[in-house]
Amino acid sequence: MPKRRDVLKYGLLAGAAAALPVERLTSAFTRTATAAVTSPAAPLFATPLVVPPVLKPTLSIAGTDYYDMTMRTAQQQILPGAKTPIWGYNGIFPGPTIRARKNRPIVIRQHNKLPADAAVHLHGGNVRSSSDGLPGQEIKPGKNRVYIYPNRQQASTLWYHDHVHHHEAFNTTQGLTGLYLITDPAEDRLGLPTGRYDVPMVIQDRSFNPDGSFRLPDPGKGEFFGEVPLVNGRPSPFFEVEQRRYRFRLLNAASSDCLHELTLGAGDSFHVIGTDGGLLTAPVQVNKLPLAPSERVEVIVDFSKYPVGSQIVLASSVFGLPMNLLRFDVKKAKGQDRLPGKLVPIERLKESKATVHRDFQLNLDPARGEMVINGKSFDPDRIDIRPKLGSTEVWTIHNAESAELPIPHVFHTHLVRFQILDRNGNAPAPFESGWKDSVTLQAGERVRIIMRFGDFPGRYLYHCHLLGHADAGMMATMFVTP
């Protein structure tokens, strides 16, 4: 495990590397790719996509499902001819998917059989502070902790991951991520693709040592994200699809600075139906789609328009550099379904109801070598703000990085989801007009968000979800007061 000073160095350098102009980034990446890359070769579209298994409850009683999960080391084949040591929930990477039902609580006992502390955070979950995976709630090796998830929120795609401060980037790089899907009656009535046509995809990036083990990117060599794209733990896999609509739940679970801009085929259109916190009011047609670390989008792709035998690539551009994520192979003709014209209503929070307005400035402090919010580096013993339970607040987040070092940030709130009011004074794009818990800001950008605090009082975090930035101090604590 890296020492704290190394974690801070990598977090800061990763931000700086991601901020370089595209021309310098491309030059640095090319030098690395042609001369210094140590990752073994990973042929494109050589392995099938594997969908993570759905975890079964240990016990279901009195309207509650109980699970046991063990974080442990294991060996997993990711690259051809090599075994990669991982840290996995139940020893797999990504971890098993948990499927939950609205208003049906889940209790998970997490056992830590890793050689280091662990803390589990349900990202996007509306949970009590005691189950949020905060600093001070670490699970020591050989110990366990019980997490209670009430699932009072609407149908949405959430995920769980490690949250040990100063080691979050390292621990998640080793494999500690998994999906958590909530369903509800409103979603059921829409007739969206289900079963094998509802496919979760955990998108990650990794660099590897010659022996197949994971390697943190080296920003000093111009590496700011992994050299090998992974989908559900497979390098650029292929996926056989039928001539019909599919629902894909896309999670960017990057542990570094991998900000995707997704495209399908030769700029083919597809529809966004949901974001971090649930479904939109109606499908939004797009030809490209940004997806930053920690963000989720749910999309519908209609393969009925492609002839049998077609091969369509889901690709990305990351800071101007191309990346092939996955290939769809159209194999069979099947019955068609429909795309609903309307999805679910969204209660729009009114700015006039906001009782508090707050401002947050995110930037690198080069003099101190720390990432800061409002000039302060994270201190787990300090309470930065005290929102009131049930209140509505408007936050203005400003990425205050300079044009000379334009570092991006991804602002994430625990406990509370929000709606974007505007970005640089303009209305949000239609695909980000729903409920969110993470928002990307390029250097110089200002985004205003609105949120209502409920259902739980207590201590929670807000931070940058480029994990090197959070490890380097870009995190703060709020205490929601009754």
- Domain layout of the chain by residue ranges: 192-333, 351-480
Fold of 351-480: Immunoglobulin-like (2.60.40)
The string of DSSP codes covering 417-438 is -BEEEEETTBPPPGGGSS-BSE
Cα separation, 320 vs 269, whole angstroms = 21
What CATH number belongs to 192-333?
Answer: 2.60.40.420
Residue type, position 257, single letter: D
Residue 10: its pLDDT value, please? 41
Task: Give me the phi and psi of 18, to 5 degrees please.
Answer: -65, -20
For residue 26, the model assigns a pLDDT of 32
- 């006992």: which residue's tokens? 109
Which residue reads 């044009």 in tokens?
Answer: 403
The reported pLDDT for the residue numbered 32 is 35
Question: In which element (H, E) is residue 168 found?
Answer: helix 168-173
Q: Which two tokens stand for residue 12?
A: 């800061």
Assess whether the region 192-333 and the region 351-480 belong to the same CATH fold: yes
Residues 459-481: tens digit of each pLDDT: 999 999 999 999 999 999 999 99
Q: What is the pLDDT of residues 140-190, one digit of tens each?
A: 999 999 999 999 999 999 999 999 999 999 999 999 999 999 999 999 999
- Tell me the per-residue pLDDT of 243-298, one tens digit each, with 9 for 90 and over: 999 999 999 999 999 999 999 999 999 999 999 999 999 999 999 999 999 999 99
Going by pLDDT thresholds of 50, 70 and 90, the confidence category of residue 35 is very low
- Both tokens of 441, joined, read 């800001």
Closest by Cα among 87, 84, 115, 45 to 209: 84
Residue pLDDT, tens place only, 52-95? 999 999 999 999 999 999 999 999 999 998 999 999 999 999 99
pTM, two decimal places: 0.93
Where does the pLDDT of residue 39 fall: very low under 50, low under 70, confident under 90, or very high at 90 and above? Answer: confident
**pLDDT tens digits for range 374-428:** 999 999 999 999 999 999 999 999 999 999 999 999 999 999 999 999 999 999 9
pLDDT score at 233: 98
Identify the three-state secondary structure at position 352: helix
Measured CA to CA, the distance from residue 447 to residue 425 in angstroms comes to 8
Give the per-residue pLDDT at 9. 42
**Segment 323-348, tens digit of pLDDT:** 999 999 999 877 777 899 999 999 99
